[in-house]
Structure 1
Amino acid sequence: MFDKLLQVQQQAEEIKKRLDAVTVYGEAEGGKIKVTATGNKHVSAIHIEEELYKSADKEELEELLAVAVNKAIEQAENVHQSEMQALSQNMLGGLGNLFGGQ
């Protein structure tokens, strides 16, 4: 059983590394604001087109930036949940073997 737990811990660490390598995006205002993040929900870049930056007021930029960040985080959450679901299924399958399952 201890071996299975170690295996699950190793798989979780591998998933974290994979998620660090996954890139997701969030956009607002037709792509004029773009946010890049990892599958682990770490925002790595924000791009605001100069035209929008010059023409929008502070409040508008803040609102659009929040929209783009939330979209990127939502994408990251979807990827993260998929990976964790796969790990959970793998774990449950492995634990079933401990109790006489196949």
Structure 2
Amino acid sequence: MAKGKGFNRGAAPAGGMGGGMMAQIRKLQEQMEAAQAQLEVETVTASVGGGAVKVTMTGAQVCKAIEIDPELLKDADVEMLQDLLLSGVNLALEQSRKLAEERMGPLAGGLSGLGL
């Protein structure tokens, strides 16, 4: 075998391309952590039943509040209230997932640019 032509021929030199990729990965990780932290405080509010029930949820899918219009309780229709609560929570979850996708999607695209 000729001198200088061994198994490590394609390896990146120390501090070369591999170091730049690691810096990109660290930067992307920091951006993702910042986006996740923002999602923990950013909220969406879903309104159902003409505003009779409102559900507020964070971008991290934590339910923060449920508001029920007192007028809705005057009829005391438990099944309707249960249906509205279920619809409100599911709609808030859907909106929260969309928010997370909007915030995290561009960062996930950065992973493909790194060849991961």
Q: Which TM-score band applies after superposition, normalised by the shorter structure?
A: 0.7 to 0.9
The structure 1 residue matched to 2:56, chosen from 10, 32, 36, is 36
Q: Cα distance, 1:22 vs. partner?
A: 1.7
**Which structure carries more helix by proportion?**
1
- TM-score w.r.t. the length of structure 2 is 0.73
Q: Cα distance, 1:90 vs. partner?
A: 2.6
Residue number in structure 2 paired with 1:51: 71
- TM-score w.r.t. the length of structure 1 is 0.82
- Aligned residues of 1:27 and 1:67 also touching (Cα < 8 A): no
Residue number in structure 2 paired with 1:22: 42
Report the Cα distance in structure 1 between the residues aligned to 2:36 and 2:28, rounded to whole angstroms: 12
Unaligned runs of 5+ in 2: 1-20
- Alignment root-mean-square deviation, CA: 1.6
Q: Rg bigger for which structure?
A: 2
Report the Cα distance in structure 1 between the residues aligned to 2:71 and 2:33, rounded to whole angstroms: 42
State, as a whole percentage, how many aligned pairs show the same letter. 38
SS in 2 for 1:91: helix
